[in-house]
Amino acid sequence: MKKKFKIAVASGKGGVGKSLLASSLAMLFSQDKKVVAVDGDVDAPNLHLWLGQSEIWDRTEKVSTNERAIIDLKKCNGCGKCVEICAFKAIKMINGKPQVDPFFCEGCGACEAVCPVKAITLERIENAEIKTKKNVHGFPLISAQLYPGQTGSGKIVDEIKKRAEKHNYDIMMVDSPAGTGCPVIAALNGIDFAVLITEPTPSGFSDLKRVLTVVNHFKIPYGVVINKWDINKDVSKEIREWSKDKFLGEIDYDKRVFQAIAQLKPILKTDLPAKSQIKTIYDKLIKQI
């Protein structure tokens, strides 16, 4: 394994156990490696909860990765070209003058480019905050929260990964957001190994295959984990056979997992079966990387 190895825990579907597994693997790796943990789900970050942490952060930094169109109505001649060019329908004519809807504007700059009287400018907006905990079970945690109504989650993921690079680490553990969209692409870009976790349901299996297209695009080696495998043993068997030598292991469905996390108790601090099952997954993962 090379120095500064990056691992992402990903899935195509939400709620299948990414943060459960990412938090546990980060703690296991930290036993003999320098770790930095990254919560890539900037729309709904919760990795700190799975690590048993409160909402108190050591550092909070407001950031801007987006721009928004601002129209100087004194210069505007009301030609409407900005309305015609806007692909996001963020500009509408009201009483003969264009008005920008801030919730639809993506800051692409097309309106600025076509305005004949230079009445439109792009101004940077604070769209998120990056939060850091310096010592979580012996390693730093980098997280972020996109502000309500704001866009640009993929850019924010890029920013927190840049922050993580400033730390001295052997393993960067990235808890990827769900799906296959922009923030997932940002989370998986530059990753050395992907742990793909799924649940044994038709939608879970289907979305696992979808996120695998992103993983294969970046040519990332990967392994597969089934969470709550025992809720549908037939589908679990199908996923295991499909995974072949990529299969890393499985985790039981256990309501006590959620009871533990509700008390901010990491799974590795419990005596639940999931603890030993995740350690088995960790051992197989070590062999693969």
What does the block give as tokens for 286?
């070590």
Q: Are residues 219 and 100 in the same domain?
A: no
Q: What is the pTM of this model?
A: 0.89
Residue 152, pLDDT score:
82
Instruction: Tally the domains of the chain.
Output: 2
**pLDDT the model gives residue 1:** 63
Which domain covers residue 235, as residue numbers?
A: 5-63+128-288
Same domain, 71 and 184: no
Of the three residues 110, 125, 140, the one that is the final residue of a domain is 125
Of residues 255, 257, 263, the one with CA closest to residue 275: 257
Counting as low any pLDDT under 70, the low residues of the chain are 1-2
Give me the CATH number covering residue 99: 3.30.70.20
Same domain, 93 and 28: no
Q: Supply the pLDDT for residue 233.
A: 96
- Pair 261, 198 in one domain: yes
pLDDT at 80: 96
> Do 133 and 118 share a domain, yes or no?
no
- Please say which residue of 109, 125, 141 terminates a domain: 125
Nearest to 109, CA basis, from 75, 82, 128: 82
Residues 43-52 have pLDDT tens digits of 999 999 999 9
pLDDT at residue 151, as a whole number: 79
Domain end residue (candidates: 85, 107, 125): 125
Beta bridge partners of 173: 7, 37
Supply the pLDDT for residue 289. Answer: 87
What is the three-state SS of the chain? Answer: CCCCEEEEEECCCCCCCHHHHHHHHHHHHCCCCCEEEEECCCCCCCHHHHCCCCCCCCEEEEECCEEEEEECCCCCCCCCHHHHHCCCCCEEEECCEEEECCCCCCCCCHHHHHCCCCCEEEEEECCEEEEEEEEECCEEEEEEEECCCCCCHHHHHHHHHHHHHCCCCCEEEEECCCCCCHHHHHHHCCCCEEEEEECCCHHHHHHHHHHHHHHHHCCCCEEEEEECHHHCHHHHHHHHHHHHHHEEEEECCCHHHHHHHHCCCCHHHCCCHHHHHHHHHHHHHHHHC
For position 103, what pLDDT does the model report? 87
- The domain that holds 166 is classified in CATH as 3.40.50.300
